[in-house]
Homo-oligomer: A and B are copies of this chain.
Amino acid sequence: MNYTQTFTIAGKDAHRVDGIEKVTGKAVYTGDIELPAMGYAKILRSPVAHARLLKVDAAKARELPGVIATLTRDDIKEFNYKYGATYKDQSIVAVDKVRYVGDPVAAVMAEDPAIAEAALDLIEVEYEEVPKVTNIEEATAPGAIQVHEGDVARAELRGSTYGAPPRFNGTNICYYLGFGRGDVDKAFAHADHVFEDTFRFQKVQHYSLEAHISIASYDGEKLTVWASCQDPFTLRDHLSGIFRLPLSRIRVIVPYVGGGYGGKLYVKAEPIAAALTWKTRRPVKLALSVNESFKTVTRHPARVTVKTAVTKEGRLLARECQIFMDTGAYADAGPRVTQKAGYRSLGPYKIPHAKVEAHGVYTNTVPAGAFRGFGALQVTWAYESQMDMIADRLGIDPLEFRLKNLLKKGDLYTAGDTPVDCDLEEGLRRVAETIKWQERDTKPNRAKGLSCCIKDGGGTYKVAGATVKMSSDGSVVLLTGTVEVGQGPRTALSQVVAEELGLSLDQITVAQLDTDVTPYDISTSASSSMVVMGLAVQRAAQDAKRQLFQCAGKVLKQKPEDLFIQNGEIHSQNGQSISYSKVIVDFFGSKAGEIIAKGLYKDKRSKKAVLGSTATFWEIGWGGVDLEVDPETGVVHLLNYVSVCDTGKAINPDQCIGQDEGAVMFGIGHSLMEEMVYEDGQLLNGNLVDYRVPTFRDLPDGLHTILLENGNGPGPFGSKGIGEGGLLPVASAIANAVSRAVGVRIQDLPLTPPKIWRALQAKAEEQTKGQAEARLKTG
């Protein structure tokens, strides 16, 4: 990549190609689709957290006029009804047991949704309740009842070994990762300082404005599914397994998606819709309510204990992380999230000795799965809080403490992985400068906080293909499997094509995502699309260019390698030029045919890498906040928030800023207010009103995203993926600032006003008590 090159369209704030559709309400989402003879499904969900299913009888429901079909455990035996993102521990509807409040027990398909809803009441179910475990402590207590019976754990040891992995027979631990390097025990024994602190992350939900929805239609030969999902090819794979159909006989179409954030990865309620259409041979729409989405997937609550050894000079020496991730009643992506939480728990620092143990824990709560940040969020919250706590204890400036320990560009996060691809110090200094770190906080109850987090971008192994289809007028349809979840890939990827082929954006459109015709893409996740799909798209455009040059070479009687593109025409060194259209028409001998070009991207597999494949790129989150705490109420008021976002090269700067600001707001949510509140296993606030997310009123007074564009990304024109980085530092930056402002350290999220207020009260009581004791002593 010659970064001195000038760009025509890449780097411009092009208007969103899906903008008009969306602002005019024309954009089609799954819910907008109606099919002839379509039925509507509703799900009967368990009202209890843990019970044996003694009886499920839908006979009376079937008799209700308008009911087309019911689905219970009696109907699913013909399928491979057990499935799951990582473990096959879920079934289409419950068979022997229910494991959380909301677990699907049965479904009804009816002529309209109201009839389906009414029919649910007619299904007779008998539950025999058994004890439940609803959090990490209960689930890991000795003798705790098992959510899934048997030896459910998979254990992995990576990096330096600690002997055989522990055995978790008969427990609720479903996944374990142990990895490390050096010798932490020795390092802790000899360190100047060792600090051990425990942090907790609450249960939060993705809160997509569009709840989970799918339409399934099986005609006896092909199963077609319209789904609001982020990885249609993975969904196709799961359905292929469940219904024993070749992949080519399953077609997944993805209309626009109204938010995903990881909650629409893998497989959710789609098998219920598919089983109903299989049974009835009629299309069926299964639209979950927001409350049902809350009962479908969440983020993992976590308990993270970080033990860190530091030299007296303030250098990190060793770190041990004990991580427990509550994956709820079914594994979903939990084992992978737990693995990544473990891998990502060391932070952007040089730490010679490390030991990590990460545990995935089954509980009788809603399954937890992939969620923006994917395990990183829980551990960054912990390690960046602890960094300030250590700095405080050692009396070092938190900025200086971090700068002293940061990885440098080219350093290895772990052996075998991609070297760090950016200057961490640059980003952190930009945050500090912008937030005016060096200026003293003069007002009472006001302070600044910093945080710096690292995450392997791309996450898991990635594969993506793309096709560029150029018609005889030179205009292009781009086929890409990246899902437009709102993050803007249609625009950015179109810009890549436009830049590469010298076209204007209005000559390019993006085809509907349809697994039948769209080249394979593994998933829209892990901030990966700009690099992974971006490169596939760029290569497809380059292939189109190569084909055009070959044809043009014949027409112009020039060597293809002597041709170049300017303003959407092909030029020769000797001044001839020819339009794409003329090249194509000439080649096909008519205004017919087209250029079909393809591109492919595959991540590198590496046996040396701790997790088997290397980071596609490194995604960094640098955040700084200036805030004020109202000591009377505990309310945190955000005066200014600064985020630095390493884009490598921003293909569409406006969209990058939008993405990063969105990430910050997302972070503000779980930092200050979001939490799924349970009582006796029952969710109390599973709706858009009671579950409080940030609104415009919660925006910081100032919100600044700084784009770094050093051309250091592996993506097209030096770009990198973004979208999660901005989220990671928010909670710790805020908690760090609160601590500096009012002297209370909150270690369990969210930092709600009552929690801060109580901590202030406790602190005041402590002080009063201390003063009283002092008075007593001196008295």
Residues of A within 8 A of B (CB): 17, 20-21, 24, 26-28, 32-34, 36, 217, 219-222, 233, 237, 240, 246-249, 251, 281, 461, 463, 465, 467, 469, 471-477, 479, 506-509, 511-512, 514, 516-520, 522, 588-594, 596, 598, 600, 602-603, 605
Q: Which residue on B lies nearest to A590, using beta carbons?
A: B461
A sample of 21 cross-chain residue pairs with beta-carbon separation below 8 angstroms, ordered by A number, consists of: A20-B220, A20-B221, A32-B36, A34-B34, A240-B473, A246-B473, A246-B474, A246-B506, A248-B471, A248-B508, A249-B506, A461-B589, A463-B593, A469-B517, A477-B517, A479-B516, A517-B518, A519-B596, A520-B594, A522-B590, A589-B602
Q: How far is the CB of A640 from chain B (nearest CB, A)?
A: 38
Q: Which residue on B lies nearest to A20, using beta carbons?
A: B220
A21 touches B509 (CB 8 A): no
Q: How far is the CB of A779 from chain B (nearest CB, A)?
A: 73
Query: How far, in angstroms, from A508 to B514 measured CA to CA in the complex?
Result: 16
Query: How far, in angstroms, from A28 to B34 measured CA to CA in the complex?
Result: 13
A248 — which chain B residues lie within 8 A by C-beta?
A: 469, 471, 475-477, 507-509
Query: How far, in angstroms, from A514 to B251 measured CA to CA in the complex?
Result: 15
A516 — which chain B residues lie within 8 A by C-beta?
A: 469, 477, 479, 509, 511-512
Query: How far, in angstroms, from A20 to B220 measured CA to CA in the complex?
Result: 7
B596 touches A465 (CB 8 A): yes
Q: How far is the CB of A606 from chain B (nearest CB, A)?
A: 11
Q: Which residue on B lies nearest to A511, using beta carbons?
A: B516
Q: Which of B20, B33, B222, B591 contacts A237 (CB 8 A)?
A: B591
Q: How far is the CB of A273 from chain B (nearest CB, A)?
A: 16
A594 touches B509 (CB 8 A): no
A517 touches B514 (CB 8 A): yes
A246 touches B596 (CB 8 A): no
B589 touches A473 (CB 8 A): no
Q: How far is the CB of A520 from chain B (nearest CB, A)?
A: 5
A592 touches B221 (CB 8 A): no
A240 — which chain B residues lie within 8 A by C-beta?
A: 473
A21 touches B219 (CB 8 A): yes
A28 — which chain B residues lie within 8 A by C-beta?
A: 36
Q: Which of B517, B589, B592, B602 contacts A517 (CB 8 A)?
A: B517
A463 — which chain B residues lie within 8 A by C-beta?
A: 588-590, 592-593
Query: How far, in angstroms, from A472 to B520 measured CA to CA in the complex?
Result: 10
B594 touches A519 (CB 8 A): yes
Q: Which of B220, B461, B514 contacts A24 (CB 8 A)?
A: B220
Q: Which of B24, B475, B506 contacts A247 (CB 8 A)?
A: B475
A507 touches B246 (CB 8 A): yes
User: Given contacts A246-B473, A248-B477, A591-B237, is CB(A222)–CB(B509) below 8 Å?
Assistant: yes
Q: Which residue on B lies nearest to A31, using beta carbons?
A: B36
User: Given contacts A34-B36, A221-B20, A240-B473, is CB(A593)–CB(B520) below 8 Å?
Assistant: yes
Q: How far is the CB of A484 from chain B (nearest CB, A)?
A: 13
B465 touches A517 (CB 8 A): no
A247 touches B517 (CB 8 A): no
B592 touches A522 (CB 8 A): yes
Q: How far is the CB of A26 from chain B (nearest CB, A)?
A: 4
Query: How far, in angstroms, from A465 to B247 measured CA to CA in the complex?
Result: 23
Query: How far, in angstroms, from A416 to B203 measured CA to CA in the complex?
Result: 78
Q: Which residue on B lies nearest to A473, using beta carbons?
A: B247
Query: How far, in angstroms, from A281 to B477 measured CA to CA in the complex?
Result: 22
A594 — which chain B residues lie within 8 A by C-beta?
A: 465, 519-520
Q: Which one of A24, A27, A520 has the greatest number of beta carbons of chain B within 10 Å?
A: A520
A246 — which chain B residues lie within 8 A by C-beta?
A: 471, 473-475, 506-507
A221 touches B514 (CB 8 A): no
User: Given contacts A506-B249, A590-B461, A593-B602, is CB(A219)–CB(B517) below 8 Å?
Assistant: no
B517 touches A17 (CB 8 A): no
A512 — which chain B residues lie within 8 A by C-beta?
A: 514, 516-517
Q: Which residue on B lies nearest to A21, using beta carbons?
A: B219
A34 — which chain B residues lie within 8 A by C-beta?
A: 34, 36
A514 — which chain B residues lie within 8 A by C-beta?
A: 511-512, 517
User: Given contacts A222-B509, A509-B221, A590-B463, is CB(A281)–CB(B473) below 8 Å?
Assistant: no
Query: How far, in angstroms, from A465 to B595 measured CA to CA in the complex?
Result: 10
Query: How far, in angstroms, from A237 to B477 measured CA to CA in the complex?
Result: 15
B281 touches A26 (CB 8 A): yes
Query: How far, in angstroms, from A102 to B594 measured CA to CA in the complex?
Result: 37
Q: How far is the CB of A506 from chain B (nearest CB, A)?
A: 7
Known: A20-B219, A246-B475. 4 other contacts (CB 8 A): A21-B220, A24-B219, A477-B516, A512-B514
Q: How far is the CB of A511 from chain B (nearest CB, A)?
A: 4
Query: How far, in angstroms, from A522 to B251 measured CA to CA in the complex?
Result: 26
A17 — which chain B residues lie within 8 A by C-beta?
A: 221
A476 — which chain B residues lie within 8 A by C-beta?
A: 248
Q: Which of B32, B219, B509, B588 contacts A602 (CB 8 A)?
A: B588
Q: How far is the CB of A86 from chain B (nearest CB, A)?
A: 13
User: Given contacts A249-B475, A506-B249, is CB(A520)–CB(B222) below 8 Å?
Assistant: no
Q: Which residue on B lies nearest to A222, using beta carbons?
A: B509
Query: How far, in angstroms, from A21 to B506 measured CA to CA in the complex?
Result: 38
Q: How far is the CB of A159 from chain B (nearest CB, A)?
A: 21
B461 touches A26 (CB 8 A): no
Q: How far is the CB of A38 from chain B (nearest CB, A)?
A: 10
**Top-3 shortest CB links A-B:** A246-B475, A248-B475, A247-B471
A20 — which chain B residues lie within 8 A by C-beta?
A: 219-221
Q: Which residue on B lies nearest to A28, using beta carbons?
A: B36
User: Given contacts A247-B475, A477-B516, A516-B512, is CB(A221)–CB(B588) below 8 Å?
Assistant: no
A479 touches B589 (CB 8 A): no
Q: How far is the CB of A88 from chain B (nearest CB, A)?
A: 15
Q: Which residue on B lies nearest to A597, using beta carbons?
A: B598
Query: How far, in angstroms, from A600 to B508 measured CA to CA in the complex?
Result: 23
Q: Which residue on B lies nearest to A233, using beta carbons?
A: B592
Query: How far, in angstroms, from A469 to B33 measured CA to CA in the complex?
Result: 27
A509 touches B475 (CB 8 A): no
Query: How far, in angstroms, from A473 to B217 measured CA to CA in the complex?
Result: 22
Query: How far, in angstroms, from A246 to B472 measured CA to CA in the complex?
Result: 10
Q: Which of B26, B281, B520 contacts A220 (CB 8 A)?
A: B26
A508 — which chain B residues lie within 8 A by C-beta?
A: 248
A474 — which chain B residues lie within 8 A by C-beta?
A: 246
Query: How far, in angstroms, from A472 to B477 measured CA to CA in the complex?
Result: 25
Q: Which of B33, B221, B602 contacts A21 (CB 8 A)?
A: B221
A518 — which chain B residues lie within 8 A by C-beta?
A: 517
A473 — which chain B residues lie within 8 A by C-beta?
A: 240, 246-247
B591 touches A605 (CB 8 A): no
A251 — which chain B residues lie within 8 A by C-beta?
A: 509, 511
A517 touches B479 (CB 8 A): yes
Q: How far is the CB of A540 from chain B (nearest CB, A)?
A: 11
Q: How far is the CB of A111 from chain B (nearest CB, A)?
A: 16
Q: Which one of A20, A247, A511, A516 has the greatest number of beta carbons of chain B within 10 Å?
A: A247
Query: How far, in angstroms, from A590 to B517 measured CA to CA in the complex?
Result: 20
Q: Which residue on B lies nearest to A600, using beta carbons?
A: B593
